[in-house]
Amino acid sequence: MHPSERFSMELIETERRMDYRTQYESWKELIDQRLATLVADRSPQSLYLPTHHILQGAGKRVRALLVLLACEAVGSKANNALEAALSVEILHNFTLVHDDIMDRAITRRGRETVHTKWGEGIAILVGDVMIGLAQELLLKNTNGNCAATLNAFSRAIVDVCEGQALDREFEQRNDVSIEEYLQMITMKTGRLAEMAAEIGGLIGNGTREQISALRGYARNIGLAFQIQDDLLDLTADEKKLGKQIGRDVIEGKRTYLVVHAVEHISDPQDRTLLERLLSGPGLRPDEVEAARQMFEKHGVFDEACSQVEYYCFQATEHLVSLPDSEARQMLDWFASMLMRREK
């Protein structure tokens, strides 16, 4: 290929990526706007003011975007799945409200958590009403696939709760394996993404094979996303991340980094640090840097990066059975974008 031709192709690809970024930001802005006004006129304020607070929080809207892209990828229009996209995003935010209560988190995305600002009782009630709001929106347009859509939605709620329960159980164990960890995040994180893609495909009237491909894509995206989250907890810029660096090791969480380290690090001094992380409530804030250096020295960060790349690749492999379209190509770009994120 002549150098000028290669340059032209690279330029076209760069422009296409820019177009996908523009489309992503446009859809994200639309989702943000709709969520920001969803409960503005509802009462009582004691319930809907904190609900409004959580729905206004900045987010990547990954699951909502998966609904829209999945709908387009099977040949329909994204607008047909807008209510479903909002529904899935609300359900995701419900899990965050209850996660924050269990984790005793003070901030979420740089803002006070609901239970910190209004109390645990209100936060529990906010989470409950968000499930109702999500179902209310979902039922506005299922395009004749009401039973299948509700089934996907309900299965995801159950699986996420089971995944969260496993996550809590793991905090009491020092012998969690990589396989167990991956099973847990498949349920806790992967299932919401998988459900989002499945619902988008159902509303778009995709075939069984197309919906299966979308589910496989999204499930792997969810795994990559969670491992990337674990990685960013110790490698990201704190201002970009919007929360305290090292919070996972301070809380003693069994992340991909910790589980891999326990299986592979044998250095006595580093084992002592790991055992302290596992045996108590976690490390002290002044030990976070030591943990970061330990993971870096033993290649744990590199291994986590490799796993993120692997699951992103696995995700895009599922796309080959979908019709070639801009939506399919944007799903490919979406995987790459998530792999390169810094927050």
CA distance 20 to 6: 21
**Conformation bin of residue 304: beta by default, left when phi > 0, alpha when psi is -120 to 50:** alpha
CA distance 146 to 40: 28
CA distance 185 to 325: 30
Peptide bond before residue 281 is cis, with ω within 30 degrees of 0: no
DSSP state of 324: P
27-338, CATH topology level: Farnesyl Diphosphate Synthase (1.10.600)
Cβ 311 vs Cβ 278: under 8 Å: no
CA count, 13 A, side-chain hemisphere, 226: 23
Res 338: pLDDT = 83
pTM (2 d.p.): 0.90
DSSP of 206-252: --HHHHHHHHHHHHHHHHHHHHHHHHHHHHS-HHHHTS-TTHHHHTT
Res 18: pLDDT = 66
CA distance 287 to 295: 13
The per-residue pLDDT string of the chain (343 residues; one tens digit each, 9 = 90 and over) reads: 544 454 444 434 555 666 899 999 999 999 999 999 999 899 999 999 999 999 988 788 999 999 999 999 999 999 999 999 999 999 999 999 998 998 888 888 778 899 999 999 999 999 999 999 999 999 998 988 999 999 999 999 999 999 999 999 998 899 999 999 999 999 999 999 999 999 999 999 999 999 999 999 999 999 999 999 999 999 987 766 666 789 899 989 999 999 999 999 999 999 999 999 998 788 999 999 999 999 999 999 999 999 999 999 999 999 998 999 999 999 999 998 888 877 6
The angle subtended at Cα 197 by Cα 21 and Cα 61, nearest 5°, is 45
